[in-house]
A and B are shown apart, each in its own frame.
Chain A
Amino acid sequence: MTALSVIGIGSPHAADQLGWQVIDMLRQNPAIQDLGSTRLSLHRCDRPGLSLLEYLKGVECAILVDAVEGGTAGRHVRLTREQLVVDPARLSSHAAGVAEALALGDSLQLLPSRLVLHGMEIGSAGIDFIPAETNLRQLAGAIAAEVAHCCQEPDNLKNAPGAVTKTNTQ
């Protein structure tokens, strides 16, 4: 297991591809390629539900990438572990999303010590949202910067520069 994982969460459908598109861009990034698979792993994760915890097992630093409902379409958001781990009122396996998986992972002490989510708000467009290429590249660039930053000093993952910090994913 690598120390740092970037996990694009999504599905093959419309706006939900966003996390995968960013992973594809990162795979083409020479700086990311230079890190090699032993230091960094990149995942395209298909609607994992609670299986997200499998991808986080043994990882020291994890960066999640996902579309974020609401907000201003196209805006980049960065959420810290403290902002991500919430207490879901009800947990059903059909509705187990990132928040529920992280809440369970937190209670079982399965989460990486450093965890952050980079997302793009999709506004009110829902699944029909189509991210602009420039916004995707900006998001991929911010993640590449965070990867470089935490490779230099893992503790910096909590305070990486260059991102809007929001507190609400709903």
Chain B
Amino acid sequence: MTDSGDRTIRVPVLARVEGEGALDLIIRGDRIEQLQLRIFEPPRLFEKLLEGRPYTDVPDIVARICGICPVAYQMSAVHAIEQVFQLNPGPWVREMRRLMYCGEWIESHALHVHLLALPDFLGADNVIELAERYPDEVRRGLHLQGLGNRLLRLVGGRSVHPVSTCIGGLSHAPTPAEIAALLDEFRQALPMAEALLAWTASLDLPDEQQDFTSVALRHADEYPMNEGRLVSSAGLDIPIQAYQDHFREYQVPHSTALQSSLDGQPYLVGPLARINLNLDRLPQDLQQQVAACGITFPSRNMFHSLTARAIEVVYAMGEAIRIMAAYQLPDSSRVDVTPRAGIGFGCTEAPRGILWHTYELDADGQVQAATIVPPTSQNQARIEDDLRNSLTAYGLHRSDDELRKHGETVIRNYDPCISCSTHFLKIKVGRE
């Protein structure tokens, strides 16, 4: 700290987040002069990489964008491409895609809650230290994460970068015996997920109320995963095709990831936004559990994201049980595909929030152009807003170490997937 009270605080590498980022903070007196969530992970250029590729390559390529949420990338892509081909793969495929999403939500949320977020709220440096004090809770978290992974392996072929998803359906169908075995384990583990929900709601989380706009999909009669309209807490209600009429991506100098705004303002996507906008789409018994947990949703406390994730773990467990209990082996796991030219849109709910894709294809189904807007990109401006509010409320007079730790806690609370978000590179070439 200088005599004038000016301080520069740097978190050069953020720990316990997916990918590589940093936080730079300049405080002048009693106010934050500059705050930058700096994402320096190299651009990955997936959109350009897709150009010229056949539609059949797309699900496998986009799955490589993320090892934690590959299903989300596959789902947004196949829905967009099937929209171009005017293809409806039918109810069996719809249910299997929802089942895969359940697996991804369970593994991703269980991982974030236990390994990445909880150490912040329970005074531990990492999950290994946490495990020494809360062994039963961490074992429970690992078991739930493992079940999510096993569901992905069964339906997707493997848990990291699944391989079964294709345009028109799945490349294989699990046998009823395989489904029945996993169903039994899911039924046994459902009380564990419910206990997780009650436990996270009982934790003494920071109480910070903030103003922000929640954005999520909303479906007519189910909790949103693969389908729905885009809605916001500010009254937005549009089809996913109209996304670019309201949302804008833009580059900031300090980040290799694009930021996004809704009608010029930051917004929130992810589990808290989904719960805030879709509480009434949860099953009645789960709504009762949420009502009994002591937290009122919609919530303006960003730290309630932890409980929102736990609610979605319970939901995904129950939804997976429902789908697996009704499982029947189909005659075919996919429908025939006839390529067409056109532009299609896909928007699904990744664990971290809405993931919007659009593809332009030619008559052979070859990709002419692709745009992918990941949830972490969309949350970046909101995270910076949150940091300004939260650090100021926390007290800028605090020590650098305290501010650094609180800043990291705020960022990790969003479960940012930095690797996913860095897909853009702006190149300016000067010629004489």
- Residues on A facing B (Cβ under 8 Å): 46-47, 50-51, 53-54, 87-88, 90-94, 96, 103-104, 107-110
Distance in Å: Cβ of A51 to nearest Cβ of chain B: 5
Stretch at the interface among B14-22, B83-91, B320-328: B14-22
CA distance in complex: A51, B151 (Å): 13
Q: Are B149 and A91 in contact (CB under 8 A)?
A: no
Contact of B15 among A47, A92, A96, A109 (CB under 8 A): A92
Q: Are A54 and B146 in contact (CB under 8 A)?
A: yes
Contacts of B150 in A (CB 8 A): 54
**B68 proximal to A (CB < 8 A):** yes
CA distance in complex: A103, B115 (Å): 13
Q: Are A93 and B111 in contact (CB under 8 A)?
A: yes
Q: Are A108 and B17 in contact (CB under 8 A)?
A: no
Q: Are B116 and A104 in contact (CB under 8 A)?
A: no
Contact of B139 among A46, A51, A90, A108 (CB under 8 A): A108
Distance in Å: Cβ of A2 to nearest Cβ of chain B: 17
Closest to A54 in B: B146
Q: Are A104 and B135 in contact (CB under 8 A)?
A: no
Closest to B138 in A: A108
Q: Are A93 and B138 in contact (CB under 8 A)?
A: no
Q: Are A108 and B16 in contact (CB under 8 A)?
A: no
**B337 proximal to A (CB < 8 A):** no
Q: Are B126 and A108 in contact (CB under 8 A)?
A: no
**B174 proximal to A (CB < 8 A):** no
Q: Are B128 and A51 in contact (CB under 8 A)?
A: no
Query: Contacts A90-B126, A93-B115 known; A104 to B67 CB distance under 8 Å?
Result: no
Contact of B18 among A54, A93, A104, A108 (CB under 8 A): A93
Contact of A93 among B116, B132, B135 (CB under 8 A): B116
Q: Are B419 and A108 in contact (CB under 8 A)?
A: no
Q: Are A91 and B16 in contact (CB under 8 A)?
A: yes
Contacts of A94 in B (CB 8 A): 18-19, 67, 419
Closest to A11 in B: B160
Q: Are A92 and B139 in contact (CB under 8 A)?
A: no
- Residues on B facing A (Cβ under 8 Å): 15-19, 67-68, 111, 115-116, 126-128, 131-132, 135, 138-139, 142, 145-146, 149-150, 158-160, 419
Q: Are A50 and B160 in contact (CB under 8 A)?
A: no
Closest to A51 in B: B149
Distance in Å: Cβ of B122 to nearest Cβ of chain A: 15
CA distance in complex: A29, B341 (Å): 53
CA distance in complex: A110, B146 (Å): 14
Contacts of A96 in B (CB 8 A): 115
The CB with the most chain B CB atoms within 10 A, among A46, A54, A103, is that of A54
Contacts of B159 in A (CB 8 A): 51
Distance in Å: Cβ of B143 to nearest Cβ of chain A: 9
Q: Are A91 and B126 in contact (CB under 8 A)?
A: yes
Q: Are B18 and A92 in contact (CB under 8 A)?
A: yes
Q: Are B67 and A53 in contact (CB under 8 A)?
A: no
Q: Are A103 and B128 in contact (CB under 8 A)?
A: yes
Contacts of A107 in B (CB 8 A): 128, 131-132, 135
Contacts of A91 in B (CB 8 A): 15-16, 115, 126-128
Distance in Å: Cβ of A120 to nearest Cβ of chain B: 23
Distance in Å: Cβ of B382 to nearest Cβ of chain A: 22
Closest to A47 in B: B160
CA distance in complex: A104, B126 (Å): 10
7 contacts between A and B (CB under 8 A): A51-B145, A91-B128, A92-B18, A96-B115, A104-B142, A107-B128, A107-B135
Contacts of A46 in B (CB 8 A): 158, 160
Distance in Å: Cβ of A99 to nearest Cβ of chain B: 11
Q: Are A51 and B146 in contact (CB under 8 A)?
A: yes
Q: Are A108 and B146 in contact (CB under 8 A)?
A: no
The CB with the most chain B CB atoms within 10 A, among A53, A93, A108, is that of A93
Q: Are B16 and A104 in contact (CB under 8 A)?
A: no
Contacts of A53 in B (CB 8 A): 142, 146
Query: Contacts A54-B149, A104-B128 known; A92 to B17 CB distance under 8 Å?
Result: yes
Distance in Å: Cβ of B60 to nearest Cβ of chain A: 12
Closest to B135 in A: A108
Q: Are B127 and A104 in contact (CB under 8 A)?
A: yes
Q: Are A92 and B149 in contact (CB under 8 A)?
A: no
Closest to B131 in A: A107
Distance in Å: Cβ of B311 to nearest Cβ of chain A: 21
CA distance in complex: A92, B19 (Å): 9
Query: Contacts A90-B126, A91-B126 known; A50 to B115 CB distance under 8 Å?
Result: yes
CA distance in complex: A54, B19 (Å): 24
CA distance in complex: A163, B141 (Å): 37
Closest to A94 in B: B18
Q: Which 10 A-B pairs have the closest CB atoms?
A: A107-B131, A54-B146, A91-B126, A90-B15, A108-B131, A107-B128, A94-B18, A103-B128, A104-B128, A107-B132
Closest to A92 in B: B16
Contacts of A93 in B (CB 8 A): 16, 18, 68, 111, 115-116
